[in-house]
Structure 1
């Protein structure tokens, strides 16, 4: 019968195998965890020469990924959140950039011949634009002074030649950065846009979005009286001057027929406390804005009645009782 006792050499080898097995298992777990749980690298978009460019320029989008151990990436470019890939190069170049190329761009990378991927980059916006502003406001009145201004955010350009267009016309009506109408008339109302070209250079801006200038004749206010029922001496009367153009900060001028005095109020209401018969009459208002006045309102008539008294004779008392 064979003995089951281990030889001295077997007793020495078993701990060595155990140590080797433990060492290999540790490294297998380490590399598996590193592969599965290491944070994916982040892609980053850069635009050359700048994010603000002009029609006709050459613009390059570049995708950089800081991924250790990856020697070759396959790139995917996306525009404005679309799922469609429009380029698979690290650098994508627009040789003659146009307005349609202005948008938000992001990129993503996948390891060639491997399984690693990057996170998608933050979106970077490519701008090709000019901007119109109107002072003091897009809504103005006949006789106001109005200024159109064209601003172009162009890095490296020190001088622009501006072109102004109205209502889609191809005719340029001004080449100044600021064009002023003084006084403005109803015929100046319309949609305006501008465009810029570098003086002595080749850079061009995009046409701006159109901005609408509205020119109105001054409105005619309406006067209302509260209360509308009979008003007696001692009552309180409120006159209200109503103007349609509520976006304007008006001041209000009140006049009364047969009275040379005028009253200017910040609020659209005029209140008369403890009215007298002499407060009755025809009232008109007009609104004022920066030295210009609206038309006069139609007159509103306020009639004040005196307090009346009635009397009766008492059959049981030998005097007259006056009733207020």
Structure 2
């Protein structure tokens, strides 16, 4: 039973507050007649939750557009959305969130970046609120977003040089600058451990800018990158640790025109290279071969690849990124400049003729 002598009664509801409510009024003066209102039924639905997703994909190249979509599972009306990045994870595994500078996005539930930059690499969450006083949802699921630079100042070197790795082996990751390798730290984000530096990795040791994990476990699956002393983040790489068949694929994006070679590996086989079927985006592209070779890569070859062996099983998927050839870009610019220069004499003659015609018109007597 709820008791209040106020004309309005405010309560922060839980599921136990569901039921029928009415109010009772007793006149303090006059006849002393009391009256009951009609009953109203209060229904309390499950707690609102926000769900964050990314389109078109979480892996981007500098300049690509991307949209973060935040939705509330219980209702889509009346909500205002805010956006945050996961800035750090404390030793007690508590998470710190940092609001984006333009975090309040209104009722649309969309945060769009027209041209992704390296600074947009990070782990994002959202939350929603509505009403007065405001009711706020819990933070949404975490959604990583990774932006690869066209010419990053530092490279993440992985040994062995592949994105998928066997269980219970040693894995080395180094941040190597063109001039030196000082001042860089290897960071990662995994579903098991969250956001952390190499010094916090379980079973890891750091020497200079090199991080060594030994032995590897499936919980080491995640995204790894290099971070400078000033906090800049470069070269994210998705690393998968798997107990069965793995796909040997390049760590870094492949340039158009280069050769792409994929292999299917199994740790307990001798030799470890298997004859297998290879798939792209779920469709079979080559069957029963020890190597899948694409001699001249184009943008159309970009996608998710995996391999499958009839007896040993299939590997996880790996994203193969293809970037444009720099020489082709230079040729395109040269073609434009050549066209402009070729057209210059004709433009000059046209301007001179127009000028002469105008002068002759002005000299013609009326």
Whichever of the two has the greater Rg, that structure is 1
The two structures have a TM-score, normalised by structure 2, of 0.33
Higher relative contact order (CA 8 A, sep 6+): 1
Greater strand proportion? 2
